[in-house]
Structures are given as structure tokens and as C-alpha cells.
Amino acid sequence: MPRQAGRSLRRLESHAKVTGTVEYVHNLELPGMLHGKIFRSTVPHARLARVDVAAARTAPGVEQVITGQDVLSIIPDPYYGPAFHDQPILALEKVRFAGEPVAIVLAADPYAAQAALDLIEVEYEELPAVYNEVEAALKGAPLVHDKLRPGSMFADLIHVRPRSGSNVHVDYRVRRGDVEEAFRASERVFEDTFHTPAVAAAPLEPIVTVAEPGGSGPLTIHSATQNPSFVRGELARLLGWPENRVRVRTAFLGGGFGGKQYIKLEALAAASTLLAQRPVKISLTMDEQFVTITRHASTIRMKTGVSADGRILARECEIWWNGGAYADIGPRVTQKAGFTSAGPYDIENVSIDSYAVYTNLPPAGALRGFGVPQVNWAHETQGDRIARELGMDPLEFRLKNLLRNGRPQASGTILQDSGTEEVTKEVASAMRWAEPLDCGTGTTRRGRGVALAIKAGVTPTTSVAIVTLAGDGSCTVYAGTVDVGQGSQTVLAQIAAEGLALRAEEVRVIHPDTDATPYDMGSVGSRSTFHMGLAIQGATEQVSRQLIEMAAPVLGADAADLELYDGSVVARGRGDAEISFRELMATRFGKNTGTLVGSGSFTASYDTPDPDTGQSDDVAVFWMIGAVGAEVTVDTETGKVMVQRLVNVADVGKAINPLLVSTQLSGGALLQFGYAMSEEMRFEEGQLVNSGLAQYKIPTMLDMPKSVEVVLVEVPHRNGPLGAKGMGETGTLAVSAAIGNAVFDALGVQVKELPLTPERVLRAIRAGAGRPLED
Amino acid sequence: MPRQAGRSLRRLESHAKVTGTVEYVHNLELPGMLHGKIFRSTVPHARLARVDVAAARTAPGVEQVITGQDVLSIIPDPYYGPAFHDQPILALEKVRFAGEPVAIVLAADPYAAQAALDLIEVEYEELPAVYNEVEAALKGAPLVHDKLRPGSMFADLIHVRPRSGSNVHVDYRVRRGDVEEAFRASERVFEDTFHTPAVAAAPLEPIVTVAEPGGSGPLTIHSATQNPSFVRGELARLLGWPENRVRVRTAFLGGGFGGKQYIKLEALAAASTLLAQRPVKISLTMDEQFVTITRHASTIRMKTGVSADGRILARECEIWWNGGAYADIGPRVTQKAGFTSAGPYDIENVSIDSYAVYTNLPPAGALRGFGVPQVNWAHETQGDRIARELGMDPLEFRLKNLLRNGRPQASGTILQDSGTEEVTKEVASAMRWAEPLDCGTGTTRRGRGVALAIKAGVTPTTSVAIVTLAGDGSCTVYAGTVDVGQGSQTVLAQIAAEGLALRAEEVRVIHPDTDATPYDMGSVGSRSTFHMGLAIQGATEQVSRQLIEMAAPVLGADAADLELYDGSVVARGRGDAEISFRELMATRFGKNTGTLVGSGSFTASYDTPDPDTGQSDDVAVFWMIGAVGAEVTVDTETGKVMVQRLVNVADVGKAINPLLVSTQLSGGALLQFGYAMSEEMRFEEGQLVNSGLAQYKIPTMLDMPKSVEVVLVEVPHRNGPLGAKGMGETGTLAVSAAIGNAVFDALGVQVKELPLTPERVLRAIRAGAGRPLED
């Protein structure tokens, strides 16, 4: 029987997915179900003078119309959010962004519900609004929120100082060494300001929730969510119920990318079903998905002092995160990207200020990388400018400053078990960096670039797993990990199979369902393989121990001499002495009866950063380390960039499923490729003007890199399951900068703002910086 | 906080039940669901010459028509059953009773499916049939089955000798002492033959199953079943799949009474959904329910030898069980009622032969009491005849022969922790037995009677439970116990609450779902409180131990000094030292996160009876002991019996919920009251002629006893959860005989056949036995 760890097994649900038989919440229909359609604010900031739903209530087919006032009758304090309780289920008194839900129409026919939206009349008293994150952080800017109330994940997870009376709701800082002194000692000091735009997650299954009121059973929420356990806790809190009266379950997700994190439609669906006492489905259109959650636009000021020989002596970062109108998980982005904004470099003197800022735009949250793709764009782009201006090879500059195991990261936490050197070496090798590149001629120029990345695994969080054997010895894994398409069910089956010496195909992994699967923090921050993998290992160890204890007397052997193999317990060195799991179950419970139960849990250790300095002995359960190489051609007449090669190198610790790890890395790279090249949410006076996939340009197959390569580096993590680390974001982080650096190499001009649209590149060329366009 | 054990808590789902919001499988609708309607054999025994479904297949709205041959394409060996694999999913080659499923029509519209049944043409080659159990057991009777194959529950659970080449498929015997010698030594020997008819379970929710084909997930069966775990195992066996690919779940059941035991529609629904690849619902009409499963008709020959002073010296029982065409759980009935057929009496010499007999009638199975109500009718009716003929008071006769703790039951197992004396005393007291009864005058005569009962708790079987605490400390119980209406969810919540010092209302009990709840043998044989109660106790002990271990360092206390109280761990004698479950969870997992998991299991010990003598050291996990007293009036002109008082005394060990225990006892008594007074399935040449509730007479409110009283006796069981014993059947067992004995007392004539219809009573009066009708 082959080892299960290291098998390039296809996703166990592959066949069902391509034949259209897997379950998605989007396809769920329930008898008597109503469809909810949301009336949204048409203005970015206003006091609600009047919300008149009387005409809509009497419209044909309409069952119910619910406003924020109606919600108050069952949820007196209807504000939710993971970090702050700032977002109302439906707007109360004020609206804070164009697109904010104000009312919901429920009808058996979704078209009837949609039609009735036109009958709702809202009178707004418009308020001054603010959209830019830097302007919003200034004193005197219009205030988006008057007061702040920390949410459930605030106190434990984000050690930050919220400011009241300001749009800056989190002001996270890292202080290490003495940057001022180090700048004075520096040979050269570089200062740049970088921008990244708001972008959309755009999963092909938009956010969807179906709620059932319960009866004698629990309130039941079927939701395309990445965090069923969090949703349960948050709904229980809103309702003032114990968690065991709320059930949240998912199916497969048609993508998530962070856009289905924490709580989205679930509170509105819960309120609707409880008021209507019928099942309610709310499924967003892609246009609505766009204004529901975005990735933060950011402005990053980065100042770096270097010695004459290219050592980075000091780095100062100031980051403004455009959080939109509601904080969502932005505070965690602010912290997490904050403390990694100095990059994977060994810098003695660091000063970071990372500001979460409210504006009158749609809320921003987590989107693959928790802000690290934004700060990576800054430090890796500036890195190439520094190298070029010092006359150094960019890779050599990076190697000289590289953060190595045993050295402290900016947060003070010592790096360990991380392949910073290995990924750098591998990207150089894959890019044939030592060989010169043909730079092209005429209007087609060629360039290449690399970028390195570091991100901390999500800490602290918890996963709990149960593993059972049925009477016939077949194995079931109860894990709350949501399979958003990344293949987690397959990898978790492999980890369980490895632990019980079964084949992964024999293991069944149950979909997340808080009525069946124990707590898991969610499919977020590349944590599932590591955290849930460890929880499952704990559970399989319990099952394995029980099996061996049961077998020892039957086989007349010492427990120490027994091991599991292919569905049996076998005595080492005694070929004939074995008993199958099925037979063992019969000895304990009776033939074909009983359930053997094991459980395990993993909570990452964590040392809360000092609020004044951000210093911590243990800020990351593991580090994600990646390197990206890009080779581009640029049409100097149009500014059009084509990526010829994209090489993605990631330290995955141990590839439990090399096939899935590789496709997840390239998938993550291509997501970020879109953000690097073309994606950008454009707002005019707070109104999104390129909503939906017709206007917002995600890459098509024709836009894709000509070649996408993945190189796996395996530096085992001492605590990881079979040595594995999370890697769901690793492939994403450094893509933009690698491409930008290749463009810089091709043109000699640098673009500091994403995406690298033809217009922006052409403008940079025409600004005339760098070498002349004509040879 | 009140103790949870002993609280007369209303059923937790009461409100939802009366407001119509609880879930029943009958109400389940799924998108794209087809309805299945069954074509049934119109003859009792025939070879199938031709099954022509061509016309039905092209009927309007019909999606698919499935025959036995079609089933073979996915299930090559489609025979099922708990004791024998004798029943085909759809008839193959032969039909063996009128009403046997031959084909199923699937259509989105159930009326279209029903209409298409008329287009199915079946050509039968009729075979000689046999209907009476005694005739069928004779050599030379037409054979219903040519061969026998033991089922999964056969080998372990029923130590019996199947015969081939005979309709007697189980021939169970008990031999104790020397009956022949003892009969010779007896002063008097009484011999009678008793009859009970086939009766129907008639739950107001008939059997219903909805199946979904799965896709990447499991085959899913939603079924009104009392045994989800058994159904899962049996379907996995039929399909040749591991159990983890089959999911079986239930909701609340609208009654069961044994009629939803083991496997009923589930295999047909599974085959249908897999062939159609769409969800399929099959819901029986009441007419169909009647031919799906019955309670065994029986013929019982009982011969008893007594000494001059009324000691029973020997008892010989011969019992023929009319099993119908398929064994179902009849073999277990044969065994279980077999070894208790000598009654709750201390008899040195016993000989029992209990025969399970195939006939060409609908299958018979378990129905509240596993055959004990039938044998109880025999021994308790004969008991009154013996007492009267010896000139003894019937109660005195019983007390003289009573089986007491420390003495062996007929099986050889020593009685212990059983309230035989207590229930006898209590029934005498409640009936004011010492006072004379006014016997009435004219055409209205009055009489009273008592009867005692014994039944073994179902052994051996297994229950497994999981108990969890969520991050907020709220508790969930995962138990496969089906709440058929008896209130198991409430009682199990009380047991869990008692174990964790919570209120029962705070505990959530999950509906049985093999994807969530671990193995349980099912809601059968009064086992749930005892078996599952013990499994839950094991699980709460694990949770409690973990809580105390977590709290000890936090409170700075010794674990030994800590206990749980009202959602907290408290230090004994230190009022201020306490920490809530919620806070404890936070210390271990992080605030509002994590799941604490405990599991427990219970497998009853069992000593398989010797096949030749039925002797066993341990045949019952506990004994159910009950006594019934009845007072009747009889109209001697019409034969109409009215029960004026029905007193039900039961040893419940410990009434964990006195309210539910009392209502379950009186519910069981009223079920049997119907069987005693009016219910009887009548067959003519194998055709049921009084199918459905219009013709088959269950009692109405006007027929009910004028007074129904319950007396609880609590003789704690040393191993029971909080001392409790099962009592779901106790109230049922002795009702018929108590009423019959009261009629005997009123009239001086004895009826030996159930039910006590006016016709039958009048015929007995007119036969002129006993005292003259006119004073």
C-alpha cells in the first residue's frame, strides 16, 4: 500500500464536479422557500430621513418587506463584524456606502421580489463623504462612524489601539531598533509611495445563503461561507441564543478567496427567516458581490536606508488601508500585513505604522494574502529600484539582506524552519538568472524580474476534529474545513488515511456542519492543512491507540509490537498475526455495530504583540515563504505587457498532495496576475462605475501568461502535519512585484501603482524616465 | 438548580409539535424529487410468469418503472432482512404474499405514478399457499422459501436452529428441569390453547423514505425509521459499499411501535434513486402500511402442572408464530417471547418450543413487546383458570409462584434488581383487591382482574454517544436514538444535563443522522434510556473530567475538590472560586472557539443461550416488570365489554422524567387496549379484507377506558443510568390478560382468543360455560 502523504491524488470530488452532481448552496431549494432581494443605498453617505416600503409590501407576489426597524424587533442590537460590531444587518439611521443594504423584499418568485424593489422610496439627507484612505485619516475628515465597539475577534486576535473620533479605527505599530539613527547612518535613503486599488474576489459562485427558521430544531443556515463556526457564534451573539441553537453548514464552494469570510449575508438571512417563519434564500448577483466585500485599496509610503554595499539598515513603512464603511476583518489585515511590510529581510531598524481607515466605500476584508500582496508590491518594487540605483543585481541585493532561520523578523519573532534561501536559489535556477536575457528590439522589449515574499500563518486559531470508524471499519472525518475548491477534503483524507494506514479514497470527509463537525476557525489564511491536519492527526492517534489496545489481547501481542496496515492491526514480524478493523469492531461492540471515536484539537501558540512596539516572541505558527520570477514582453507603442513566463517557487514544508499543491499555487498566482495586470474597482464620488464581470476585467485565457511553472521547496516544519506548512496564499504574494520588476527591467521605468494596465505603462514610458525607448 | 433526574419536564419539542413546526420525513420535499408508487402482488403465492411494464413506462408523466430485474443491475443480490436475507427489494421469480412489491413507478407527480400502476400487467402462475401458522409448520405444507440464508443479526443475536425444507425457520427451545416427571408429580394439570391475531402498528405517520443519489457525497436516506444505524449497515451490505458512503437520517417520527424497525422501504428507495439518479420519495398509504408489517398472529399451547396448594411444578409451552412471508425480526420475537413464555414465575421445570413459521401472509415483526403480549395473554389467562379451579384468589396464586430476586428465570438467568413483589403489592393496593367488588346485576355484570408481566431488555446491543461543548459552553448530544414520540430527546437531555450539572432545556439533542450521530442499535425493545443513557453518561464523564482538569490550575485547586454546577466548575467549600464553562473554553481554545468532545459507549453483556436448552447466565441486561389491573362491565345481551378502570403498575427503576414515563406507560397500555378489545387483521385466502383505518378498528376516544391510572415503582437497577430501567413496553404486556381476567371474573366464562369483541364474548356467554347469566 502506498504512503498517503506525497500522493498526487486528484480531488476526490473531481468526477462529481465535472458531471455536475456535487452540492452547492446556490442550487439548494427548499419547499416554501422565499427569495430575498436587497434594496441598496444609492448614495455613499446619508442620514435616512424616510424608508417607505408600503407600496412594495402590497406588490404582487411579495410576502414581506423588512427594514432595519423590523430587524430591531428580533435583534435589538443588530450590529455585526469580526473585529468591530459596526455593521448593521440593514441600515439604521444612516447609510455609509453606495450599495449598503437598506431593506429586503421576500417573495416566492425572485423576479417579483426584484420588481418590488422599484417601489421602495428612500429619502436621504446626504452627508459629506470621504473616499481616499489618506484623506480619510486626516483630522477633520467627515466621520464614517461616531463610535467604535470591539467585536468578538478583536480582543484576542488583534492587539491594536482603536481610535475614537477618527476614521482610523486601528493604528498598529511595529518599532524595532532606531530607524532615525539608522537613516542618519545610511549611505542612501530611498522613499517611495505605492498604491494598490480596491479589487474584487469575484468567485464564480457569488455569495449565497439559505436560512430555515427551525421549529423544534435549530435555526439553520446553509451558506457559502469559509467560516461556518464563526458564523454560528456571531449569529448566536446577535440573537442572544446559545450556540447549540444555531446550525451553520456549507457544501462545496464555487471559490471564496477570502470574499466569503466571517459574516456576509448570514445575519440578514437569519433575520429574514425568523421574521417570515419560512425558508429564505438570498443569492447575490455578481454586481452585488462587488459592493459586498473588496480587497483593500492601499497607500504605502516606504522609506529605506542602505549602506554603500547594499545592506538595508532601516526601513520605515506607513500604510493606509482603505477599509470602506465597515471594518470586516480589515483590522487583522492591518496587523498582519503591517508586521510583514518590511519584507523577508533581516533589518535591524524597523518602524511600521499601519492604519485601518474607514471611508464611504464598500467594505474591504481579507482577500488571499491578508494585505501582504499590497505591501509586497511596495517593498519588492522599491527593492529593485534600490538595487538598480546601487548597481547591484536585484537577486544579489535580496540575498544580501535575506532573513534567515534563527534571525528575528520585524515582529521580533525568530524565523525557523523556513526556506528563504532555498526559494531564492530555486527561483534563480528556474529563471536561469545567471544567463543574460535577450532584451528585445524595436517596439517589443523584454525584461525579467523576481520578488520574494513572506507571510505569517494565521495565529492564534483553533481547529478541532473527530475521526470515527464505523462497524465495518470504514473511516469518517468530521472537520469544519470548507473546501472552497482548493482540495482540502482530499488532503485531509490523505492525512487521516496516513494516520490510520488506509487509502485516502476509503476515507470520507464530512462537509462542514456545526451540527456534525466540531469547531474550526475556517478556511482562511492558509491554515487548513496545518491546523486541521494536526487536529486530525490527534484524532487518528486516539483511534489508532484504541484499535491497538483492542487488538493486543486478541492477537496475544504487546501493544508496542502492533501497528496498523491496510485496514488491519498487524503484529510486527509475525506475518500471520493480524485482525481487520471490522473484526476488531465486532469484538468490542458486536458484529457490524459500534463506532470508535477519536478527537483531536490544535490551537496555535501565540504571544500577543506589545501594543507599542509590535514585538512578540511568537507571532506566527509557521511562515509562508515564496519567490516569483517573471519574464515579460512590453509593446512600447501600446504599453501592453505580456507575461511570457511566470515561475512560482514556494516552500510548502511537505507536499502532502504535490498535484493539488501545485495547482493551488498556480491558481493563486493567476488570481494575483489579474490584480497585477488589469483588475481595479473604479469609484467616482463613491459610486462603483465598473461593476460586474462585463466591465471589471478579470483575465481571460488569452491574457494568461504563456507559461506558468511551479517549483516546490520542502523545508519541513517541525510541528507541521508530516512537516507540511500552509501554502494557499504563498503563490499569490509576490506576483505583482515580480511582473512589475520585469517591466522595470524591460523599460527602465518603474510603475508604482497597480494594475499594470497598458495606459499606466504607456504613461510611465512617456514620462520619459529611465533609458530612452529608441535604441 | 434542581436535579435534572426526576424532573417532570414536558417534551422539549412540545411547543413545536403543537404549532406544526417540527420536522417529519413525511413533509420533506426535495427539488427534482420523484414519487414512487408500488405495484403489489394481487395473489398470495405465485411464480411470476411475466411482468410487463412497457405501457406504464410510456404513461404520461412517468419517469421510470423499475422491476426486480432492473434492481439486479445495481444490486446483484437484493435480498435483505435482519435475521435472514430472505426478502427481495422487488419480487423476483415468485411472490409470496398478496401485497408484495413487484414494481415501482417513479413520476414527479404522485398521481401520475399511481395512475400508471393500472397499466402494469403481471401474469401469475399461482402456487399452493398456506396461511395458518400451525398448518404451515406441518410436514408437507407448501413451502414459502426453498432455502434460508442467515442475516447480519442472526449469528450474534439469536441462538436458534433454522430448519431448511420447512416453513419453520427458527425452532427455539428452553429446557429446564424435567417437565414430564413434574407433570406426573402434579395434583392437577391444565392445558389450553390460546390465539392472538395479526394486528397492525398503524402509526399515524405511515412508513416513508426519501432517498438522494449522492454525487460526491453519500447516498442519503431520510427515513421514518427506528434504526438508522441498522439501515445504513444493511444498505451498505446490499450495495457492497463501505458504510461511510451511506447516510441515513431521521426526523421526529409520527409513531413507530416497532412497525418502523430494521429495514422497510429504504432498500427500495435506495435502488430507485440510484437507478433514476434523482431524489425519490416513497410514502405508504395506511392500506400499504398494513401489508408491509404486522404483529405476529400466534397459537400458544400451554400445559401447566400444579401441586394441591397451588405451586406451579411444571410448564410446557409450544408457540407457533405466524411470521408471514418474510422473517423480518420474527426470529428474535420467537426467542425473546419464547424464553419469557413461562411468565414471571418461579418454576423448576420448564419446556418451551417456540417456532417461527413462514406463511403466505404479510411479514410480521416487532410490535411493542416482541411477542411478549401474546405469550402473556396465554400464561396470565391460564393462571386465572388455575386459580379459580383451585379455589384460590388469582393474586394469591401469583404471589405464591412469583419469581423473586435471586431466583432463576426460565432461561436460567438469575433475576435481580426487579420489583416483582413491589408491582404485585402496588396493583393489589391500587385495585383495592382486599375489598369485595360489586358484581353488578341484570344484564350489566362487573368484574376485575390482574395480570403480571416480565420481559427481558434487549440484549446484546450497543449504543455510542458523543457529547460536546461549544465555545460558549453550550452542550450538544449526538445520539442515534430515534424519538418516535416517546420523548427520548427530552430524557436523554436530562441525563446529559444531570451529568454536566446543566438544565435539560440547555442541552440540544441532535436528530439521528449517521453522518453526525454515532452507532445506536435503534429505538427498540425499551432500550434507549438504559443503553443510550449509559453511553451519554460515559460521554459526559469524559467532558466533565476535561473541564475539571482545565479548571484546576485556573482555580488553583485540586481536581478532586472541583465539581460542576450550573454551567461552571466550582471548588467545594470555596464559594468564590468558580469559572464558567465559557471562560474555561476560552482558556483552552481562545474566546468563543473550540469544541470539547467526550464519547461513551455501552454494550450489554450477554451469555448466548445454549441452543439445546436455552440456558444462559446472562440473557437480559435488565428485566421489565409490570402489573395491570382492570375493572370491566359487560353487557350480557350484546357481549360489549367496557373497561372502567385500567391500572398500570411498572417498575421503572428510576423515573428520570415521571411525566414522560407515566404517559409512555399509559400510551403503551392504550395501544394494547386496542389489540385486546377490537383490533384484528382479517385475511380470507391470504387477502387482507379489513385494510386501513376505516375498516380496521383502532379505539376512538369513546372506546377508551373510563379511567387510566399509572403507578410507578422504583427498584433501582445497579447498572442503570441513575438506576433507571427501560419501560417502553412494560405498560403494554399484561393489558389483554388483565381485561380478559376481569371479563372472566364478571362472567365466569373465559375467552382464549383475542380480541375481546362483543361477538366473541357473546359467543362465550352463549356457550353456557360458567355461572348462569340470569340470577
- Portion 217-236 of A in contact with B at CB < 8 A: 217-218, 229, 232-233, 236
Rg (CA), chain A: 27
Both B358 and B435 in one domain: the answer is yes
Nearest-CB residue to A594 (from B16, B21, B519): B519
ipTM score of complex: 0.94
Residues of B in contact with A513 (CB under 8 A): 516
Distance from A65 to chain B by nearest Cα, in Å? Answer: 23
Residues of A in contact with B594 (CB under 8 A): 462, 464, 519, 601, 603
Per-residue confidence (pLDDT) for residue A775, from 0 to 100: 37
Contact B519 A589 (CB under 8 A): yes
Q: pLDDT-derived band of residue B152, with 50, 70 and 90 as boundaries?
A: confident
Both B328 and B232 in one domain: the answer is no
Q: Where are the alpha helices (DSSP H) in B30-160?
A: 54-57, 68-72, 110-117, 133-136, 154-157
Per-residue confidence (pLDDT) for residue A156, from 0 to 100: 53
**Residues of chain A above pLDDT 90, percent:** 90
Q: Choose the weakest-confidence range: A16-20, A338-342, A509-513.
A: A16-20
Q: Is A474 within 8 Å of chain B by CB? A: yes
Both B388 and B532 in one domain: the answer is no
What is the Cα–Cα distance from B628 to B643, expressed in whole angstroms?
12
Per-residue confidence (pLDDT) for residue A162, from 0 to 100: 67
* Residue B355 φ/ψ, nearest 5 degrees: -115, 125
Q: pLDDT-derived band of residue B345, with 50, 70 and 90 as boundaries?
A: very high
What is the Cα–Cα distance from A308 to A174, expressed in whole angstroms?
26
> Would B154 be classed as within a structural domain?
no
What is the Cα–Cα distance from A505 to A528, expressed in whole angstroms?
19
Contact B515 A476 (CB under 8 A): yes
Contact B519 A236 (CB under 8 A): no
Q: pLDDT-derived band of residue B772, with 50, 70 and 90 as boundaries?
A: very low
Distance from A509 to chain B by nearest Cα, in Å? Answer: 9
Both A105 and A231 in one domain: the answer is yes
> Would A8 be classed as within a structural domain?
no
Residue A772 has pLDDT above 70, yes or no: no
Nearest-CB residue to B519 (from A152, A236, A595): A595
- Name the residue in chain B with its Cα closest to that of A278: B21
> Would A1 be classed as within a structural domain?
no
What is the Cα–Cα distance from A63 to A313, expressed in whole angstroms?
66
**Residues of chain B above pLDDT 70, percent:** 98
Q: Average pLDDT for residues A140-165, to the nearest whole number?
A: 76
Residues of B in contact with A475 (CB under 8 A): 244
Residue A440 has pLDDT above 90, yes or no: no
Contact B594 A252 (CB under 8 A): no
> Which structural domain, as residue segments, surrounds residue B509?
461-603
Distance from B141 to chain A by nearest Cα, in Å? Answer: 35
Residue A99 has pLDDT above 70, yes or no: yes
HEC assignment per residue over B651-720:
ECCCCCCHHHHHHHHHHHHHHHHHHHHCCCCCEECCEECCCCCCCCCCCCHHHCCCCEEEEEECCCCCCC
Q: Is B617 within 8 Å of chain A by CB? A: no
> Would B421 be classed as within a structural domain?
yes
The residue among A544, A766, A759, A734 whose CA lies nearest residue A651 is: A734
Q: What is the pLDDT of residues B519-535, one digit of tens each?
A: 999 998 889 999 999 99
Q: Is A31 within 8 Å of chain B by CB? A: yes
Q: Average pLDDT for residues B456-475, to the nearest whole number?
A: 93
Residues of B in contact with A476 (CB under 8 A): 244, 515
What is the Cα–Cα distance from A406 to B350, expressed in whole angstroms?
83
Distance from B454 to chain A by nearest Cα, in Å? Answer: 26
Cell 459586498 -> residue: A292
What is the Cα–Cα distance from A659 to A8, expressed in whole angstroms?
5
> Would A136 be classed as within a structural domain?
no
> Would B183 be classed as within a structural domain?
no
Question: Per the structure block, which three cell numbers stand in for B364?
Answer: 410480521
Q: pLDDT-derived band of residue A159, with 50, 70 and 90 as boundaries?
A: low
Distance from A515 to chain B by nearest Cα, in Å? Answer: 7
Nearest-CB residue to A595 (from B155, B464, B592): B464
Buried b (16+ CB within 10 A) or exposed e, B108-134: eebebbebbbebbebebeebebbbbbb
Per-residue confidence (pLDDT) for residue B775, from 0 to 100: 37
Residue B769 has pLDDT above 70, yes or no: no
Q: Is A350 within 8 Å of chain B by CB? A: no
Distance from A265 to chain B by nearest Cα, in Å? Answer: 21
Both B682 and B750 in one domain: the answer is yes
Nearest-CB residue to A216 (from B21, B470, B476): B21
Q: First-to-last CA distance in chain A? A: 62
Both B67 and B101 in one domain: the answer is yes
Contact B178, B363 (CB under 8 A): no
Distance from B465 to chain A by nearest Cα, in Å? Answer: 9
Q: Where are the alpha helices (DSSP H) in B579-645?
A: 581-589
Per-residue confidence (pLDDT) for residue A495, from 0 to 100: 97
Any bridge partners for residue A707, and if so which?
A645
The residue among A734, A727, A708 whose CA lies nearest residue A658 is: A727
- Name the residue in chain A with its Cα closest to that of B598: A599
Q: pLDDT-derived band of residue A160, with 50, 70 and 90 as boundaries?
A: low
Nearest-CB residue to B472 (from A156, A242, A516): A242
Nearest-CB residue to B245 (from A245, A508, A591): A508
Distance from A42 to chain B by nearest Cα, in Å? Answer: 36
Q: pLDDT-derived band of residue A664, with 50, 70 and 90 as boundaries?
A: very high
Contact B348, B410 (CB under 8 A): no
Q: What is the pLDDT of residues B722-752, one digit of tens each?
A: 999 999 999 999 999 999 999 999 999 999 9
A-B Cβ pairs (cutoff 8 Å, strict): 182
Residues of A in contact with B155 (CB under 8 A): 591
Q: Is A460 within 8 Å of chain B by CB? A: yes
The residue among B260, B257, B268 whose CA lies nearest residue B80 is: B268
Of residues A711 and A83, the one with the higher pLDDT is: A711
Q: Average pLDDT for residues B706-710, to the nearest whole number?
A: 97
- Name the residue in chain A with its Cα closest to that of B511: A217
Q: What is the pLDDT of residues A230-248, one digit of tens each?
A: 999 999 999 999 999 999 9
Contact B588 A603 (CB under 8 A): yes
Q: Is B214 within 8 Å of chain A by CB? A: yes
Both A244 and A309 in one domain: the answer is no
Q: Choose the weakest-confidence range: A765-769, B135-139, B467-471, B618-622.
A: A765-769
Both B676 and B691 in one domain: the answer is yes
Residue B13 has pLDDT above 80, yes or no: yes
Nearest-CB residue to A474 (from B242, B464, B594): B242
Both B121 and B226 in one domain: the answer is yes
Contact A396, A388 (CB under 8 A): no
Question: Per the structure block, which three cell numbers stand in for B33?
Answer: 424529487
Residue A286 belongs to domain with CATH number:
3.90.1170.50
Number of domains in chain B: 3
Residue A475 belongs to domain with CATH number:
3.30.365.10
Residue B155 has pLDDT above 70, yes or no: no
Q: Is B592 within 8 Å of chain A by CB? A: yes
Contact A597 B506 (CB under 8 A): no
> Would A190 be classed as within a structural domain?
no
Q: Choose the weakest-confidence range: A164-178, A650-664, B712-726.
A: A164-178
How far, CA to CA in Å, does A60 sit from each of A102, A108, A283, B156, B395?
Answer: 21, 11, 21, 63, 74
Per-residue confidence (pLDDT) for residue A576, from 0 to 100: 76
Q: Is A245 within 8 Å of chain B by CB? A: yes
Per-residue confidence (pLDDT) for residue B663, from 0 to 100: 96
Please say which residue of B579, B603, B627 terminates a domain: B603
- Name the residue in chain A with its Cα closest to that of B521: A593
Distance from B66 to chain A by nearest Cα, in Å? Answer: 23
Distance from B319 to chain A by nearest Cα, in Å? Answer: 29
Please say which residue of B587, B603, B619 terminates a domain: B603
Contact B23 A460 (CB under 8 A): no
Contact A590 B601 (CB under 8 A): no
- Name the pTM for this structure: 0.95
Q: What is the pLDDT of residues A260-276, one digit of tens each?
A: 999 999 999 999 999 99
The residue among B413, B317, B421, B425 whose CA lies nearest residue B374 is: B317
Residue B164 has pLDDT above 60, yes or no: yes
What is the Cα–Cα distance from A58 to B682, expressed in whole angstroms?
58
Nearest-CB residue to A216 (from B22, B471, B603): B22
Distance from B212 to chain A by nearest Cα, in Å? Answer: 11
Cell 404522485 -> residue: B110
Q: Is A52 within 8 Å of chain B by CB? A: no
DSSP 3-state assignment of A231?
helix
Q: Is B510 within 8 Å of chain A by CB? A: yes
Across chain B, what does the average pLDDT equal? 94
What is the Cα–Cα distance from A594 to B93, expressed in whole angstroms?
36
Q: Indicate which of A274, A597, A608 best probes the interface with B, i.e. most B CBs within 10 Å of its own CB.
A: A597
Contact A519 B462 (CB under 8 A): no
Residue B771 has pLDDT above 50, yes or no: no
Per-residue confidence (pLDDT) for residue B216, from 0 to 100: 81
Q: Where are the alpha helices (DSSP H) in A340-459?
A: 372-390, 394-401, 420-430
> Would A134 be classed as within a structural domain?
no
Q: pLDDT-derived band of residue B3, with 50, 70 and 90 as boundaries?
A: confident
Per-residue confidence (pLDDT) for residue B606, from 0 to 100: 87
Contact A354, A338 (CB under 8 A): yes
Q: Average pLDDT for residues B480-485, to the nearest whole number?
A: 95
Per-residue confidence (pLDDT) for residue B576, from 0 to 100: 77
HEC assignment per residue over A90-139:
CCCCEECCCCCEEEEEEECCHHHHHHHHCCCEEEEEECCCCCCHHHHHCC
- Portion 248-287 of B in contact with A at CB < 8 A: 252
Both A668 and A636 in one domain: the answer is yes
Buried b (16+ CB within 10 A) or exposed e, B683-717: beebbbebbeeeebbbbeeeebbeebbbbbbbbbb
Q: Nearest-5° angle of CA B101, CA B104, CA B110? A: 120
Residues of B in contact with A23 (CB under 8 A): 215-217
Per-residue confidence (pLDDT) for residue B162, from 0 to 100: 67
Cell 352463549 -> residue: B766
Both B480 and B355 in one domain: the answer is no
Both A407 and A481 in one domain: the answer is no
Please say which residue of A577, A603, A629 terminates a domain: A603
- Name the residue in chain B with its Cα closest to that of A598: B599
Contact A12 B216 (CB under 8 A): yes
Distance from B16 to chain A by nearest Cα, in Å? Answer: 5
What is the Cα–Cα distance from A731 to A728, expressed in whole angstroms?
7
